[in-house]
Amino acid sequence: MFSEFSIGSDDSTQIYGCTWSPEDRSAPRAVVQIAHGMAEHIARYDAFAQFLVSQGIVVYGHDHRGHGRTGTQHGILGYFADHDGFEKVVRDIEVVTKRIEEDYPGVPIFLFGHSMGSSLSLRYIQQFGERLAGVILCGSGWFSRPILMLASWLAVREVAKRGRREPSPFLHRLTFGGFNKAFRPNRTEMDWLSRDTTQVDAYLADPLCGHVHTAGFFHDYFCGLQIVEQPKQMVQVPESLPFLLISGTRDPVGNFGRGVQKLRAALQRAGVLNIDYKLYTDARHELLNEIGREQVYTDIYRWIERRLQR
């Protein structure tokens, strides 16, 4: 059963959310909360959510600020907020968690974050991780501090030049421009997403996907990543919180598997004790939309199942 809701965040911004749940309304074994990636929206997770529902798991998700129906109802895609945008989006995730806790008190909650959503999830975990039973991070990267500092400086210049709310083709190219090089000759500009051409074409045809983000968004995002990766923030991650890190060996966002290995090492340095990790051979960025995605779905479910049995 699919249902929709609107929820007010801490600053009264209305956030579009939705749930997938079994028809019989029996108490679920777990809830999975999804934090989607950049330049996409929560409806793209329908097939994954329906699979989890078939296994007795309820799914919650929402469109981040500047994305999907949250973005369109506020009249701007690719923009977080006038200030503190990254932290506000993290708080939005927490507001949805509160909704889950009210709807299903005592039911274990697992957070699934993809790409940008994995970075937001990591920041969430640094502040609210004790409320979760486990975390799945998909399509993650780990970035060098000098690169993030340079990107943030360039974003400051773009904001000064364009204003926070204007799209920045320059920062868009800086972020995404190199991702397709490994897949030449290119069929489309988004070949790096998946080997499944049907999924790539669906992304390109979706008016809520692929938009150029604003200068203010990129500034907030690059600055947010710097905070997330600070050792003093990483040690705030609960050491007993179970992690599943998954990525494709051909995912350019994760530097072809090396970025997620750096993320695992950073978690280990922070004292996290329970980290499972899997690379999918030849898979690109969107594992949930890749060839063989059914195996990814199953691997995630089995990992959740093992956590529930402990």
DSSP 62-108: EPPTTSHHHHHHTT-SS---SS-HHHHHHHHHHHHHHHHHHHSTT--
pLDDT band at 36 (very low <50, low <70, confident <90, very high): very high
Residue-level pLDDT at 221:
98
Which residues make beta-bridge pairs with 135?
A: 111, 243
Residues 6 or more apart in contact with residue 121 via CB below 8 angstroms:
35, 93, 111, 112, 113, 135, 137
Q: Is the pLDDT of residue 25 over 80?
A: no
The 10s digit of each residue's pLDDT in 255-285 is 999 999 999 999 999 999 999 999 999 999 9
Q: Which segment of 16-30, 62-76, 236-250 scores lowest on mean pLDDT?
A: 16-30
pLDDT band at 134 (very low <50, low <70, confident <90, very high): very high
Section 184-207 average pLDDT: 98
The 10s digit of each residue's pLDDT in 103-122 is 999 999 999 999 999 999 99
More confident residue, 24 or 304: 304
Element (H, E) at 277: strand 275-280
Residue-level pLDDT at 306:
97
Task: Tell me whether the omega of the peptide bond preceding residue 105 falls within 30 degrees of 0, making it cis.
Answer: no
The CATH code of the domain that includes 114 is 3.40.50.1820
Pairing mode, strands 243-248 and 30-35: unpaired
Query: How large a percentage of the chain has pLDDT more than 70?
Result: 100
Report the domain count for the chain.
1
Section 172-176 average pLDDT: 94
Section 284-293 average pLDDT: 98
Average pLDDT value for the chain: 97
Q: What is the pTM of this model?
A: 0.97
The residue type found at 109 is I
Query: How large a percentage of the chain has pLDDT more than 90?
Result: 96
For residue 159, give its domain range: 2-308
Of the chain, the end-to-end C-alpha distance in Å amounts to 29
Residue-level pLDDT at 24:
82
Residue-level pLDDT at 27:
83
Which residues make beta-bridge pairs with 113?
A: 35, 137
